[in-house]
Amino acid sequence: MIYDTIIIGAGPAGLAAGLYAARAKMSTLILEKDKTGGQIVTTNEVANYPGSIEEATGPSLIARMVEQTEEFGAEKKKDNIVKVELKGDIKTVTGEKETYRGKTVIIATGASPRYLGVPGERELTGKGVSYCATCDADFFTDLQVYVIGGGDTAVEEAMYLAKFASKVTIVHRRDELRAAKSIREKAFAHEKLAFIWDSVVEEIKGDGIVETLVLKNRKSGETIEIEAPEEDGTFGIFPFVGYIPKGGLFDGMVEMDRGGYIMTDADMKTKIPGVFAAGDIRSKSLRQVVTAVSDGAIASVQAEKYIESQK
Amino acid sequence: MLSLDKKTFEEEVLKAQGLVLVDFWSQTCEPCKALMPSIEELSEKYQGKVKFTKLDVTKARRLAISQRVLGLPTIILYKDGEKAGEVTKDDATKANVEEMIEKAL
């Protein structure tokens, strides 16, 4: 079977593209390698998606998107894509399970949290180091937590973690938060939140679980070691220091910016005819659910136009 | 898959002979829920060779920490009550879990 469109990734961008494509009666396949919904499903609170149901969470919002996409008849498969052939009229997308063929491809692979890149980080991931507050907050009930970063995500997740932890300390490389004013004000008023400014993580240490966090002050050059309180034995470290695009599969095929994000025009078109990019994987200024679904909608409408023009 | 709690964990895992796999998960852990169907598939494949169990850590936080589990998803394989292998977070994939089982068999 040759699909009208193959969408790689089932986050908000991919699901919106699937919804629009299927509703336009295009034969539509959405491919996802692990969890449906992308990064937003690990977010507890989604307050800024217009029209979202009251007390929307990442999972509740995504559940509704999946429902809608399925109502219109988009097909969804779980497969890990290992190779793509994007040139020509028929594109080939090869997964671990099957090979799929389509007239158009919409790349919606998204981004993933950036690692700090310090010694001990990888070894102690899942052992006190975590990038998913909703997954792991519960472990740190009545323990201390350090959040690394100063953007919206870092500060919002710090406040979520403070519902569990005895104390949450935000470690930021600058002397002021980059987060939006409304979020900053809440954070500074929060009784469980503390701040360490101008500091970066040098190393994370521990024998099997996190025991020590080594910080370096960028201004004074001074290094401090934060030890787990003896009665606790450990503490949590949650880095939220930005994202990296998941575009490795398309290296050298489509144009990318210096950060590795895929460049498109305003119609989500890449330089390859019939290939589009949508959502966090795209080079753009605002990465939110609201911009992801917008990209997805535009991409599938353009995919439909492209197929028409090929007839 | 057998659902464990903090009362049954010792008997079913630490005092059990042979291979026991424990899927540490929770309701709020979306990656855990995405992984679960793959683990269920493996439980059918290795039926009779490995006992497949799952533990919701929400009601067994201290127990999980005692097993040095501080992040989800985590899959641990026990052999005669001792840890024989462990995968966590991004490494907790169907392929890696299968590899861990094959090594221990």
Closest residue on chain A to B87 (Cα): A126
Structural domains of chain A in order of their starting residue, each with its CATH number: 2-113+243-310 (3.50.50.60), 133-239 (3.50.50.60)
Rounded Cα–Cα distance for residues A97 and A84 (Å): 14
Residue B59 touches chain A, beta carbons under 8 Å: no
Closest by CA position to B15, among listed B84, B101, B103, B79 = B79
The answer to whether the CB atoms of A136 and B71 lie below 8 A apart is yes
B28 assigned to active site: no
- Mean pLDDT for B77-85 is 97
Amino acid at A231: E
Instruction: Output the pLDDT for position A159.
Output: 96
Instruction: Output the pLDDT for position A177.
Output: 96
- Identify which of A36, A59, A135 has the shortest CB distance to residue B71: A135
Flag whether the ipTM exceeds 0.85.
yes
Instruction: Output the pLDDT for position A34.
Output: 84
Residue B34 touches chain A, beta carbons under 8 Å: yes
* Phi (first) and psi of residue B91, to 5 degrees: -80, -10
Instruction: Output the pLDDT for position A311.
Output: 87
The helix/strand/coil state of A142 is: coil
DSSP category for residue A78:
E
Starting at the earlier edge strand, list the strands of the sheet with A193-196. A193-196, A167-171, A144-148, A236-239
DSSP codes of every residue in B19-81 = EEEEEEE-TT-HHHHHHHHHHHHHHHHTTTTEEEEEEEGGG-HHHHHHTT--SSSEEEEEETT
Rounded Cα–Cα distance for residues B25 and A273 (Å): 43
Contact A134, B30 (CB under 8 A): yes
DSSP strand pairing (A193-196 vs B19-25): unpaired
The answer to whether the CB atoms of A37 and B30 lie below 8 A apart is yes
Closest by CA position to B19, among listed B54, B50, B64, B60 = B50
- CATH of residue B96's domain is 3.40.30.10
For chain B, how many structural domains are there in total?
1
Omega prior to B73 cis, within 30 of 0:
yes
- Residue of A32, A33, A34, A232 best to disrupt the B interface, most CBs of B under 10 A: A34
Low-confidence ranges of chain A (pLDDT < 50): none
The pTM assigned to this predicted structure is: 0.89
Range of the structural domain that residue B42 is part of:
2-104
In chain A, residues with a C-beta closer than 8 Å to the C-beta of B68 are: 127, 208-209
Instruction: Output the pLDDT for position A201.
Output: 98
* Helix spans in chain A (H): 12-23, 58-71, 133-136, 152-161, 181-189, 289-310
Amino acid at A8: I
Contact A245, A137 (CB under 8 A): no
Rounded Cα–Cα distance for residues A161 and A204 (Å): 20
Instruction: Output the pLDDT for position B55.
Output: 98
Q: How many helices (H) and strands (E) does chain A have?
A: 6, 16
Question: Is A301 exposed, middle or buried (CB count within 10 Å of its CB: 0-12, 13-18, 19+)?
Answer: middle
